[in-house]
Amino acid sequence: MYLGIDAGTSEIKALVLNSAGEIMATAGAPLTLQRPHPHWSEQDPAQWWQATQQVIDQLRQQLGASWCEIRAIGLSGQMHGAVLLGQDNEVLRPCILWNDTRSAAECQQLNSLAPELHAVAGNLAMPGFTAPKLLWLARHEPTIFNRIATVLLPKDYLRWMMSGEKISEMSDAAGTLWLDVAQRQWSASLLAACGLTREQMPRLVEGSHPAGKLKAEVARQWGLSDEVMIAGGGGDNAASAVGIGAINPGDAFISLGTSGVLFAVNDGFRPDPQSALHAFCHALPQRWHQMSVMLSAASALRWLCDLLQTSETALLAEVAALSHEEQLHSPLFLPYLSGERTPHNDPQACGAFHGLTHASQRASLAYAVLEGVSFGMADGLRVLQQAGTELTCCSLIGGGARSPWWAQLMADVLNLTIITHRGGEAGGALGAARLGWLAVGGDEQQVCQKPAELERYLPDASRHQQLQPRLQQFRQLYQQQRAMRL
């Protein structure tokens, strides 16, 4: 059997996969984040390790004697976070997360220090990426910066705790802005622009290759053999792609989690940084991917539920009861609760409802949120198409995939066939387990099959046309908001 661990922003998730590709057990442990100042988002890495221990205990209880059949472990995780270790491997400060936007000024600085950035890293400098975070630290916390011996990404901190090895892999490393993405190796010049060297970076492997074994004391504590292999793993979206079987050029999926992602597999490095489209390495060798990213997706619906003190299930039921006419006269919602990446690269963008009246009700607000996230995804699809990537269908994964109503709305907005899959909510943990399987000799074509279809949502051409005026107004509202800040 094979264990997959996904270090998300809100939860550590894990599952166990057997050699028939069946999920045998799942577990999760919640995480909290800290926002001590505006634009800040941090977590204590010790919390990740504590939550990992909790999910291991849960899985052991579920599997009983068969738990000891685990042969390999794969890791997936939130990207871009900066875990800083000192000379004695002590954590120097809380990890600065992907949705932290404090380093906007340092993005401009990085562009000046590294004019080759776009060509080599294939991406715009954005506050979410790791490199600007380190420039911010050099300016604002120089004592800590000068003590840095190693910079690790979140999932790779878990690997270090499990194995004592400082190793990363291509898909996650591509999100630092320090990787030569075409060559799949650290760029000395991009590191130097941030005052760092290759010696401060983890060793790189491919995501499906071996990357350490369990330390003897961890193996004993977990009731496993110290011969259990740990795979390179993948950044959360690349691992999710492996889990959903998006491994060949032309495969694509949408993820509706805390953030929203439109992910398309490529057979080569195809950057288009000016549109804020990401171009990263895939977690599998000799493959890359393009990705549009929204910083708030299903998290926007959770935010509204918290505000209204109701559940997602109850609110989605109210949305489904709205008439077609009520939907088209609902307010519009800009989903930029944490700023935005694709296509705006605007950390100052903010959320907004437009068109509120005394007649506005909870259901119409919820509809506006679901539609606003779908419109944001349409902006991402547009820049993918402009970059030469044409899609006809997309798999749908993440927490948002549990709503058939939202899946149909997404199909209608994007004018794409949307497919949900059994186990699609497993996301990165499933892909991580599959990468672990590959690291001990699994066959890619057998291991990385697409899960069975759950439902197929065909776009409604008439509804697509009816939504176009609202989409255009949505885009105009953002431009008006941006003009007011300039």
Annotated binding site for substrate: 79-80
Question: ∠ CA 8-11-12 to the nearest 5 degrees?
Answer: 75
- Residue where the block lists tokens 């001990």: 440
Judged by DSSP in three states, 80 sits in coil
Q: Which two tokens stand for residue 254?
A: 């949408």
Beta strands in 160-237 (DSSP E): 167-169, 179-180, 185-186, 203-205, 210-213, 229-231, 234-235
Beta strands in 45-87 (DSSP E): 72-77, 83-85
d(CA 134, CA 102): 11
178 C-beta neighbours (distance < 10 Å), count: 28
- Residue where the block lists tokens 């605007």: 346
Please report the sign of the dihedral spanned by the C-alpha atoms of residue 461, residue 462, residue 463, residue 464.
Answer: positive
Asked whether 283 and 348 are in contact (CB, 8 A), the reply is no
Task: Tell me which of 236, 272, 346, 379 is the catalytic residue.
Answer: 236
Judged by DSSP in three states, 77 sits in strand
Annotated binding site: 79-80
* DSSP letter assigned to residue 330: S
d(CA 62, CA 179): 40
* DSSP letter assigned to residue 309: T
**How do beta strands 252-256 and 393-397 pair?**
parallel
d(CA 12, CA 26): 11
236 is catalytic: yes
d(CA 33, CA 370): 24
d(CA 101, CA 428): 24
* DSSP letter assigned to residue 165: -
Length of the chain: 486
Question: ∠ CA 238-244-249 to the nearest 5 degrees?
Answer: 65
Q: Rounded to whole angstroms, what are the CA distances from 368 to 118, 336, 354?
A: 35, 13, 9
Residues classed as catalytic: 236
